[in-house]
Amino acid sequence: MKKKPHISIISPVYGAASLLDELVDRIRKSVKQITDNFEIILVEDCGPDDSWNKIIDICNKYPEVKGLQHSRNFGQQYAINCGLDYSQGEWVVMLDCDLQDRPEEIINLYKKAQEGYEIVLASRKNRQDDFLKKFYSRIFYSTLSYLTNTHQDAAIANFAIYHRKVVDALKGMHDYYRYYPTMIHWVGFRLTKLEIEHAERTDGNKSSYNFKKRLNLAFDTIISFSDKPLRLTVKLGILISVLSAILAVVLVIRYFMVGFEVSGWTSTFLSFWFLSGLIITILGMVGIYVGRIFESVKNRPTYIVGKKLNYPEK
């Protein structure tokens, strides 16, 4: 019976064909300083280039490299989901394919984990991203921290090492919408952070996460991991009711004391449209959560694997 790998390294791949040779070479050199018993799992998410053909070449060259290709583009978080499901190592390392997560840091993450931690997150110092990306990231994590009542760090992304018990706990979560930096905090276990150097992307391409994708990710994550928006709408409704009652009392008092009358349709018209808009917004918020429930109860898989490389046929 083949021995299970000591370390699994997972990298979601999207539009990075020119970087894959260097990525795998640097991962192999780094991990071989820890153990010769490892696997590298490249999950290709149906990107726009020929990354899958490059993965085929690499898998033919190195038997420890395994390739998985989705049947269509599902998104980065679901590529991570796929890699975790197929990993077998006692320790699992997650890193992006763009080489901004330096493979040489895997050794430091592993050494830190040996101090008794089940999770070691890489904290990026001197982030080599453009101003807008860092700005949006700070806003997203600040909002997510507030709405989920957790501490979210903008310096933390996907680069991390997990013990097998953590991976098994994550696999036991059946959330349809996934965001692993938040899920990691939910499962618990002994966690620490390690500062690492963040590298520039060398292939000249920009991140596939444009503003629209980041906005959608932020929206899905907040709705999936928090019911605070619903509770905030309740508080808003109570606040408006209290203010309306106070205003009504003030108008009645002024009417009887000084004969002040409220005339005209402008105030009535504006109040009607304001309250109508508020009611529609609240109903829309509830509808979004109902829609999430609808997606979950269908129990569809979060990803579908179309092709596999270096995996035994069942």
SS3 per residue for the chain: CCCCCCEEEEEEECCCHHHHHHHHHHHHHHHCCCCCCEEEEEEECCCCCCHHHHHHHHHHHCCCEEEEEECCCCCHHHHHHHHHHHCCCCEEEECCCCCCECHHHHHHHHHHHCCCCCEEEEEEECCCCCHHHHHHHHHHHHHHHHHHCCCCCCCEEEEEEEEHHHHHHHHCCCCCCCCHHHHHHHHCCCEEEEEEEECCCCCCCCCCCCHHHHHHHHHHHHHHHCCHHHHHHHHHHHHHHHHHHHHHHHHHHHHHHHCCCCCCCHHHHHHHHHHHHHHHHHHHHHHHHHHHHHHHHCCCCCCCEEEEECCCCC
Q: What is the average pLDDT across 285-298?
A: 71
Is 90 exceeded by the pLDDT of residue 163? yes
What pLDDT sits at residue 224? 67
What pLDDT sits at residue 132? 61
- Answer whether 0.75 is exceeded by the pTM: no
| Higher pLDDT pick, 192 / 267 | 192
What pLDDT sits at residue 93? 93
Is 60 exceeded by the pLDDT of residue 184? yes
What pLDDT sits at residue 183? 81
What pLDDT sits at residue 296? 67
| Higher pLDDT pick, 123 / 62 | 62
What pLDDT sits at residue 225? 67
pLDDT digits (tens, 9 = 90+) for 218-236: 666 666 666 667 677 777 7
Is 60 exceeded by the pLDDT of residue 264? no
What pLDDT sits at residue 122? 86
Mean pLDDT, the chain, integer? 78
What is the band of 118 on the pLDDT scale with cuts at 50, 70, 90?
very high
Is 90 exceeded by the pLDDT of residue 10? yes
Q: What is the average pLDDT across 284-291?
A: 73
| Percent of the chain whose predicted confidence (pLDDT) is above 90 | 19
Q: What is the average pLDDT across 285-306?
A: 75
What pLDDT sits at residue 94? 92
| Higher pLDDT pick, 2 / 10 | 10
Is 90 exceeded by the pLDDT of residue 9? yes
| Higher pLDDT pick, 198 / 50 | 50
pLDDT digits (tens, 9 = 90+) for 59-97: 999 999 999 999 998 888 888 888 998 999 899 999 988
What pLDDT sits at residue 75? 82
| Higher pLDDT pick, 29 / 265 | 29
